[in-house]
Amino acid sequence: MPQGQVTTVPQDGMTTRQRRNRPLLVVHTGAMKGKSTAAFGMALRGWNQGWSIGVFQFVKSAKWKVGEEEAFRALGKVHDETGQGGAVEWHKMGSGWSWSRRAGTESDHAADAVEGWAEIRRRIENQAHEVYVLDEFTYPLKWGWIDVAEVVSVLTAREGRQHVIITGRDAPPELIEAADLVMETTKIKHPMDAGQKGQRGIEW
Amino acid sequence: MPQGQVTTVPQDGMTTRQRRNRPLLVVHTGAMKGKSTAAFGMALRGWNQGWSIGVFQFVKSAKWKVGEEEAFRALGKVHDETGQGGAVEWHKMGSGWSWSRRAGTESDHAADAVEGWAEIRRRIENQAHEVYVLDEFTYPLKWGWIDVAEVVSVLTAREGRQHVIITGRDAPPELIEAADLVMETTKIKHPMDAGQKGQRGIEW
């Protein structure tokens, strides 16, 4: 519930309405699971606003599939067929992005990641979506495949109403600095500690 | 990704398969927002498994609506019409639960909460759902409207494959103790700190 109290009023020359609707850069980071789950939960709210959702998963395998993918694909279909909610695009790096004519190699992840970011940059510059989920995007940043300064520059200069949600461990400090909202999910108690293994419907 | 390493093998007489499929009691607690968002994100995965989802929101107003409600109702409709995913029921305490013939008063929240829990208890005993989201359920526990010991007893004795996800601040210690997985989302940086107000599509 929106019950938070504003603690300071910034001297940024914006009206409350402008400030209220300022698009956010959100980072879900930290060592625990739940980062992507929380990001997709946020995207659900955007879908309900009729916003166009673009998900870009920087994962190594195209076979990797989380339950959220099917759910969002179903919601995208609801939009296409009935007009309810927003449009949904879901892209995975895996063995080559779906928009790319280049056959994926499953070997040159660095090149795939660079290509993914180039496309996201184009879309942001064209204001293609209202919600971007860049899932596991911190890894190509961490490994130096994609230039952090360029990412921060593109994200901070983005126009219109484009919310960007980035997930992954070890978000670089420059990204944290640029973000409006940084969340970390902390484990207090986890079944893995008690010998529980990952299970369908819960972990993926 | 299910990459967690099991650190200990418990002496509980269960096989790995049994342990893998053990239904979980999950608590999302802590002072920050994001608890419900994360819970609904988990429920998305359950929906994709074809599991029956029952959401019970212990909120004061029936008018209060988060984006997830519309999204899950749409997913429930997808299930009803195409068979994809799981069935979805979404109930709010507000001015009386939808199954109740008693007109809600918006004044006797304690009685409403007790009635809500009685219904959830019946459903758990009848194995009505495979995923229960008891949203904001910690509050009636905290305020003493519902007996914590009874809740823990019903939850720990539940049979079959019933995952239960509970959200809310100040989860009672007995509930934390009984839970398999307790998650807390920590704010590192939040726009409210910078005078940002809650906004549609993000906060609800």
Average pLDDT over residues A69-98: 93
What does the block give as tokens for B31?
A: 């002072």
Residues of A in contact with B176 (CB under 8 A): 188-189
CB contact (8 A) between residue A37 and residue B38: yes
- Per cent of chain A over pLDDT 70 is 78
Model confidence at B52: pLDDT above 80: yes
Backbone angles phi, psi at A10, to 5 degrees: -75, 150
Q: Where does the pLDDT of residue A12 fall: very low under 50, low under 70, confident under 90, or very high at 90 and above? A: low
How close B81 comes to chain A (CA, Å)? 11
Which residue, among A53, A132, A196, A204, would best test binding to B if mutated, counting the most B CBs under 10 Å from its CB?
A196
More confident residue, B152 or A99: B152
Please, which residues have CB within 8 angstroms of residue A192's CB and are 6 or more apart in sequence? Answer: A198, B4, B5, B6, B7
**Cα within 13 Å of Cα(A43), Cβ side:** 36
Fold of B22-98+107-187: Rossmann fold (3.40.50)
- Buried residues in A98-121 as b, exposed as e (16+ CB within 10 A): eeeeeebeeeebeebbebbbebbb
pLDDT of A21 reads: 66
Nearest to B41 among A8, A38, A200 (CB): A38
Among candidates A24, A41, A193 on the partner chain, residue whose Cβ is nearest the Cβ of B41: A41
Homologous superfamily assigned to A21-194: P-loop containing nucleotide triphosphate hydrolases (3.40.50.300)
Which residue of chain A comes nearest to B186, CA vs CA?
A184
Using the predicted structure, report yes or no on whether residue A84 has a pLDDT greater than 90: yes
Q: What is the mean pLDDT of chain A?
A: 85
Query: Buried b vs exposed e over A30-47: b needs ≥16 C-beta within 10 Å?
Result: bebbbbbbbbbbbbbbbb
**Domain segments of chain B as ranges:** 22-98+107-187
How many other C-beta atoms lie within 10 A of the C-beta of residue B182?
21
For residue B65, the chain A residue with the least C-alpha distance is A1
The tally of CA atoms less than 13 A away on the side-chain side of residue A188 is: 19
Contact list, B63 vs chain A (CB under 8 Å): none
Q: Which residues from chain A sit within 8 angstroms of residue B166, using beta carbons?
A: none
Contact criterion met (CB < 8 Å) for B45 and A201: yes
Reading the block at residue B194, the tokens are 């910078």
Closest chain B CA to residue A61 = B1
For the ranges A35-39, A54-58, A151-155, the lowest mean pLDDT is seen at A35-39
Contact A179 B189 (CB under 8 A): yes
Chain A neighbors of B81, CB-CB under 8 A? none
The closest CB to that of B71, out of A29, A85, A163, belongs to: A85
The span from the CA of B166 to the CA of B25, in Å, is 8
Write out pLDDT tens, residues B70-120.
999 999 999 999 999 999 999 998 867 888 766 655 568 899 999 999 999
Residue-wise over B52-78: b if at least 16 C-beta within 10 A, else e? bbbbbbbbbebeebbbbbbbbbbbbeb
Token representation of residue A80:
């296409």
Farthest-apart Cα atoms in chain A, separation: 54
Q: Residue B119, Cβ neighbours under 10 Å: how many?
A: 17
pLDDT at A3: 46
Q: Per-residue confidence at A82, pLDDT binned at 50, 70, 90?
A: very high
Q: Dump pLDDT digits (tens) for A158-190.
A: 999 999 999 999 999 999 999 998 988 777 776
Q: Which chain A residue has its CA at the smallest distance from B59's CA?
A: A1
pLDDT of residue B61: 76
Question: Nearest CA of chain A to the CA of B132: how many Å?
Answer: 13
Question: Do the chains contact at B189 and A182, CB–CB below 8 Å?
Answer: yes
Q: Extract the tokens encoding B85.
A: 């995913």
Can you list the alpha helix ranges (DSSP code H) found in B14-169?
16-20, 35-48, 67-82, 109-125, 138-142, 148-156
A 10 A CB-CB count for B204 gives 19
Contact at CB, A2 and B204, closer than 8 angstroms: yes
Task: Say yes or no for a CB contact (<8 Å) between B37 and A45.
Answer: yes
Q: How far away is chain A from the Cα of B191, in angstroms, using its nearest Cα?
A: 5
Mean pLDDT, residues B120-143: 96
Identify the closest residue of chain B to A192 by CA–CA distance: B6
For residues B200 and A48, the answer to whether their CB atoms sit within 8 Å is: no
- The confidence score (pLDDT) of residue B104 equals 55
Q: Is the pLDDT of residue A6 over 50?
A: yes
Q: Which tokens is A174 given?
A: 């420059």
Instruction: Please tell me the total number of residues recorded for chain A in this structure.
Output: 204
The C-alpha atoms of residue B10 and residue A83 are separated, in whole angstroms, by 50
Question: Do the Cβ atoms of B202 and A43 come closer than 8 Å?
Answer: no
